[in-house]
Amino acid sequence: MKFTRRVLLAAPGVLLLPAPTRADQQRLAAALRDFTGGQPMREGRVRLDVSPLVENGNAVPISVTVETPMTTADHVRRIGVFNERNPQPNVITAQFGPRSGRAFLATHIRLATSQALVAVAEMNDGSFWSQRVEVIVTLAACIEG
């Protein structure tokens, strides 16, 4: 995260945020375990792009890219995105193959509050790679229509 003026201005808000409860963390861990089937997850290769400071949690653009040539021998099978503090930990799961050309996915999501997002990629060799990003949300989704 870059320390721009915006992030600095949001800093007092961050300090007042309640820390994620143990239940939130356990739910996220359980969702990740479901996705990986208990296999170990390594940091790297996956790049989850999302603005560190979100003004409107109702539609947050995110994109996921994975470093891979996307050939028959080396490609991404699945990408999953998970969150820590929405009512449900799952966001999106997508399936890829050598015909995808690139391991790329973009969508718009809802964020109920400031929290962590995790993107996980399953490679065809069965390894799992991930990236975790902390996001600050100023206007939360799910509060009002």
Partner 1 sequence: MARVLLRVPTMTEKGSVIEIRALIQHVMETGYRPNAEGVLQARDIIWTFTCRYDGEVVFNATFSPAIAANPFIAFTTIATQSGPVSFTWEGDNGFTQTETRHITVT
Binding site for partner 1 (CB under 8 A): 58-60, 63, 83, 86-88, 90-97, 99-102, 104-111, 141-142, 145
Q: What are the C-alpha distances in Å from 97 to residues 18, 70, 77, 78, 103? A: 40, 7, 6, 8, 9
> Which of 8/23 has CB closer to partner 1?
23
Smallest distance, Å, CB 82 to partner 1?
9
In the bound complex, what is the minimum distance in angstroms from residue 38's beta carbon to partner 1?
Answer: 20
Q: Where are the beta strands (DSSP E) in the chain?
A: 41-43, 46-50, 53-56, 60-66, 76-83, 90-95, 104-109, 115-123, 128-139
Closer residue to partner 1, CB minimum distance, 4 or 88: 88
Q: What is the closest distance, in whole angstroms, from the C-beta atom of residue 74 to partner 1 in the complex?
A: 15
| Pick 7 or 133: Cβ nearer partner 1 | 133
The answer to whether 32 and 41 have CB atoms below 8 angstroms apart is yes
Nearer of residues 7 and 124 to partner 1, judged by Cβ: 124
Q: How far is the CB of 13 from partner 1 (least distance, A)?
A: 22
- Which residues are CB-neighbours of 42 under 8 A, at least 6 positions away? 127, 128, 129, 130
